[in-house]
Structure 1
């Protein structure tokens, strides 16, 4: 786990947990140290955990590890001048799925009301049940290992089915040039979210899927200002 913090804060700072993507079978935290440093320079303590990839783990094992990182943050960030009452979570692609599921599915033991906000960055897997019913899992991309053949598991893996009045506020980004499956899942998720958060909107960015996260390597990206504003709004 990486932790990036600002220098000599005058008060406890908000905390952002970033979960990397990689189609659930690739990716690593070390790619994103620049992202963490850029957020830290702007006054947000950033935690970047790793998780075991498929085929060595399925979605459930991965989500348990992300939930453990959230619990660690809640219990320990005060030691790093972080505010345990201002913990946000974000993720790109598969990381967006794991971030949302760890908070929203109660079986992972995270109190959803204790999370100040969820930021989805071109998130995949928000409705895996719908996707896998139309595209049954095979050995390709380790999907059979990641998702199993069990439709009940697909539903259990889908954040869309755990929306309720306790769901944290969302900030949702989707790339205009991203994969169609991501556009469809985010559209379904937003429609299901609206009864609980009627003011939430999808922010569309004119980028491809990978560029949706690499934009954070540029400290001048508009995303930093938008996310900082979201953090301030939800921390009042």
Structure 2
């Protein structure tokens, strides 16, 4: 299975399992997660936050909002979805970019969602889409401009962000077609079919046909939705090629795509680039959300 010349399957099942094993690609995964917690704790101390707003009836269907307090409101909103291969991590360690973004006049929202295998991936996609609907319809109460909602995510969250950027689902959630104004995806998974016979499918539990229906590569954004992509230079070819394939498909459709080069980053510290307002990744995101340039 090759998309746009970028290998997604690899020579053997064992090699593929290695290529899509993000935790094994870093020397100390636990240290990476501890850094998320440390940075999130700093952000929550320094930013005003509204916590655990329920966007749905499920226990996990909650979100946090960090308003852009000292800027003109209503402010644009950046919705961030955490990673964890859809079966781990939580929104509590996700708002590491809150201070950099709110200082720039951008409100931040972090989403919780039901983890797999308690939920199916289709249910998780439905949850994050209903969260965007909730944010759109309740935006005014939180100083948010519902006409400037952008979404982003890392790893599995990058997949979910791209599914939010996809065209065609909005009407079922009482949203206009252009409710999502832009997408940032870091180290995302865009074609899930290569995951169907490796360890990830223990919780994904997908057949290839189901995986294709839940793959952003086959549900691209509308032509006027800008996309910002990044994948760490220290990541495996599996994750790099996923990004390159999605980028190529978006460009082929004529989308405005910007890929930020991050040669010094691995799968986990790539997200930490968003803590620095002067990083290339933050600047590209600000350009998209604030419509600069």
Which bracket does the TM-score occupy, shorter chain normalised? 0.7 to 0.9
User: Which secondary structure does the structure 1 equivalent of 2:93 belong to?
Assistant: helix
| Shift of residue 182, structure 1, vs aligned partner | 1.2
Q: State how far apart, in whole Å, the 2-side matches of 1:50 and 1:43 are.
A: 23
Evaluate the alpha carbon distance shift between residue 188 and residue 10 of structure 1 in structure 2; reply closer, same or farther with a 3 A threshold: closer
Given the superposition, is the C-alpha separation of residues 92 and 161 from structure 1 closer, same or farther in structure 2, using an over 3 Å criterion?
Answer: same
Distance change (3 Å), C-alpha of 1:199 and 1:82: closer
Does the C-alpha gap of structure 1 residues 33 and 233 become closer, same or farther in structure 2, counting only changes over 3 Å? Answer: closer
Task: Tell me the distance in 2 between the aligned counterparts of 1:194 and 1:75.
Answer: 32
Contact 2:260/2:280 (CA < 8 Å) preserved in 1?
no
Indicate the structure (1 or 2) with the bigger Cα radius of gyration.
2
Paired residues of 2:190 and 2:246 also in contact (CA < 8 A): yes
CA RMSD of aligned residues (A): 2.2
**SS at 1:195's partner residue?**
helix
1:128 Cα offset (Å): 1.1
Q: Does the CA contact (< 8 Å) of 2:101 and 2:108 recur in 1?
A: yes
Residue number in structure 1 paired with 2:219:
162
Residue 122, structure 1, aligned to residue 187, structure 2: yes
Alignment match, 1:233: 291
Stretches of structure 1 that go unaligned for 5 or more consecutive residues are none
* TM-score (ref. length: structure 2): 0.71
Q: Which residue pairs with 2:274 in the alignment?
A: 216
In the alignment, structure 2 segments of 5+ residues that lack a partner are: 1-62
**Structure 1 equivalent of residue 232 of structure 2:** 175
Does the alignment pair 1:194 with 2:251? yes
* Structure 1 residue 112, shift from structure 2 partner: 4.3
Contact kept? 2:100, 2:275, Cα under 8 Å = yes
Q: Cα distance, 1:74 vs. partner?
A: 0.8
The alignment partner of 1:106 has SS state of coil
Deviates more, 1:176-185 or 1:197-206: 197-206
SS at structure 2 position matched to 1:63: helix
**Bigger mean CA offset, 185-194 vs 199-208:** 199-208
Moved over 3 A (4+): 105-112, 164-167, 217-222
What is the rounded CA distance, in whole Å, between the counterparts of 1:53 and 1:162 in structure 2?
22
Change (3 A) 1:3 1:155: same
Partner of 2:95: 33
Question: CA offset at residue 222 of structure 1?
Answer: 3.9
Q: What's the secondary structure of 1:51's corresponding residue?
A: coil
How far off is 1:164 after superposition? Answer: 5.7
Please give the alpha-carbon distance, in whole angstroms, between the structure 2 residues aligned to 1:91 and 1:167. 20
Q: TM-score, normalised by structure 1?
A: 0.86
Report the Cα distance in structure 2 between the residues aligned to 1:214 and 1:94, rounded to whole angstroms.
16
1:48 is the counterpart of 2:110: yes
Q: 1:78 to 1:121 in 2, by over 3 A?
A: same
CA distance in 1, matches of 2:258, 2:77: 23
CA contact (8 A) 1:67 1:103 kept: no
